[in-house]
Amino acid sequence: MRAEVLLLALLVTACEAGPAKQLSEYPDSSSEAFNVYARNCSLCHAPPLPSMHTAIAWPNVIVRMQKHRLNRSMAPIATADIEVLRDYLVAHAGKGEEG
Ligand code: HEC
């Protein structure tokens, strides 16, 4: 019984976090912009690859993540940081039709 509960907890955690990624999978991973992105977007789950969403879709995702922070009583991302990480995501965004 206990083991089942633990396994369920692990599955739920894995689901929200997604598979851990290698640093080398991220574009420009030695840039300051990437550092800003990683610093702000790795607190609750692994930072997703920029190719996961289109340039049009990213700003809305960022707004939603701000809400998650506020819901958890975390300070919002600084405006200057938002601009840097948004530019990073948009510059390397996916090209698909869906966001
Ligand atoms: C306060 C915790 C928290 C922080 C910090 C956070 N996220 Fe999230 N993120 C979540 C939660 C919770 C979910 C799952 C619910 C959802 O999708 O809104 C999620 C899901 C996601 C998803 C998958 C869902 C989708 O729309 O594709 C992406 C992509 C994402 N986050 C990107 C980011 C980015 C980019 C940042 C930094 C700006 C960030 N997250 C910072 C909590 C957080």
Tens digits of residue pLDDT in 1-24:
566 555 544 444 444 555 678 999
Percent residues over pLDDT 70 in the chain: 78
Q: Average pLDDT of 50-76? A: 97
- Residue with CA nearest ligand 1 atom 13: 16
- Round to whole Å and give the CA distance between 53 and 46: 15
pLDDT for 21 equals 86
CB of 48 closer than 6 angstroms to any ligand 1 atom: yes
Question: To which residue do tokens 């840097």 refer?
Answer: 84
CB of 61 closer than 6 angstroms to any ligand 1 atom: yes
- Round to whole Å and give the CA distance between 58 and 73: 23
Centroid of ligand 1 to alpha carbon of 75 (angstroms): 15
Pocket test for ligand 1, best of 15, 45, 64 (most atoms within 8 A of CB): 45
pLDDT for 2 equals 62
Token pair, residue 84, equals: 């840097």
